[in-house]
Amino acid sequence: MNTDYNLYKIFLYLYEEKSISKTANKLYVSQPAISYSLKELENQLGYTLFYRNSKGIEPTLEAKELYSYISTAFNILQDAEEHIKNLNDLNIGCIRIGTSSHIGVIYLSDYIAEFRKIYPGIKFEIVCKSTPDMVEMLEMRNIDLIVDTLPINSKKEVTKVTLSKLQNCFAYNKNLMKNIKIEKESDLKNYPLILPSKTSSIRSKLDEYMESQNTKLTPIVELSTTEMMLEMVRKGVGIGYFVKNIIDNQNDKDNFEVINFKDKLPSVDVCCVYINDFLTAASRKFVELITSNKVGD
C-alpha cells in the first residue's frame, strides 16, 4: 500500500462525521491539517472524495465505494490488534507440544492442568511422533517445544533444559509368565523380549549398555509406542522394557513384576527443547512453569 495509513484514517472520520471541524476535534489536529490531508489523498487517488455544502461535506460516489473497503480493512486491523493484545495477555492462544506418549503421561498432564487453572483461555495441541519428526516440526515452527528424552539433535540453535532423570526397567506379567529366573542381564536372552524401536533414545542407550555387558538382545517384537508394549506384556507375550514410572502409574501395577539387577540399567534424561526466538507469550510462560524445578541446563 503506497498511500499513508493516516490519510485513510482521516478519510474514515470525514466520511462518518461529514464535517472537517468535527474530524479535526476528534483527531486533535487543526482544520487546515485535515483539509491538506484530504487534498493529498485525492491527489494520490486521482478523484474527488467530498463536495462541500451548507451542512459540511458530502461524499462522492467514489468515496462511498472507497469507504466500503477502507472501513472493512480498519475493522480487520482493529480485530488484529485486539487479538494480539489477548495473545500477549494470555487470554487466548495455543501451545503446541511434541512429546512421546509415555513422557506426556508422566510430565505434561499435571503441568497442563496447573497452567489452565491460571490461563483458562489457552488450549493445547499435543503431537506424539518420533524424535526426528518432532525436531523437524520444531524447526519449521509447527510446534513450540519438545518434551522428550535425550538425545534431541537439531540443525538450529536450540535451548535444552533437563527436567528429570528416569530409571528404566524390565518387567513382565507375573500371572501369565511364570518360572522366570533372571539374575543377570545375559539371562534376558533366554526369554521373549518386547523392546522399543531401534530409533528411540531409550533403545539406543539400552543397546550400548548391553554391549558393555557383552550381551546382545534380540526382541520378538519392537514397538514405537509404550501403550502397545504395555498391552503386549499384559497379554504375556514377553518381557518389556519401560521407564519405571510408567509401571508405577498403571492401575494394574501389581500384575507387573519388575526385574532387579545388581547394576542399575541406563537412565534417561527428560528434556524440554525449544528455539527461544520462536516462543509465543503463552509457550514461553509454559516453559517457565515446567522448567521451574529443573535439575540441570
Report the alpha-carbon distance of residue 172 to residue 44 in Å, rounded. 79
Report the alpha-carbon distance of residue 24 to residue 14 in Å, rounded. 9
The pLDDT assigned to 294 comes to: 44
pTM (2 d.p.): 0.63
pLDDT digits (tens, 9 = 90+) for 193-219: 999 888 777 888 899 999 998 899 999
Question: What is the distance, to the nearest Å, from the Cα of residue 233 to the centroid of all Cα atoms in its chain?
Answer: 32
Same-domain check for residues 34 and 12: yes
Same-domain check for residues 280 and 159: yes
Same-domain check for residues 53 and 27: yes
Dihedrals phi, psi of 145, to nearest 5 degrees? -160, 165
Q: Which residues of the chain have pLDDT under 70?
A: 1-3, 101, 105, 293-297
Same-domain check for residues 258 and 247: yes
Domain count, the chain: 3
Contact between 138 and 274 (Cβ < 8 Å): yes
- CATH code (residue 39): 1.10.10.10
The pLDDT assigned to 3 comes to: 62
- CATH code (residue 210): 3.40.190.290
Question: What is the distance, to the nearest Å, from the Cα of residue 147 to the centroid of all Cα atoms in its chain?
Answer: 10
Number of H helices, E strands in the chain: 11, 11
Same-domain check for residues 82 and 212: no
Report the alpha-carbon distance of residue 268 to residue 125 in Å, rounded. 25
The length of the chain is 297
Residue 296 per-residue DSSP state: B
Going by their DSSP bridges, the two strands 93-99 and 145-149 should be labelled as parallel
297 within some domain: no
Print the domain residue range for 192.
166-267
The pLDDT assigned to 2 comes to: 59
Same-domain check for residues 37 and 108: no
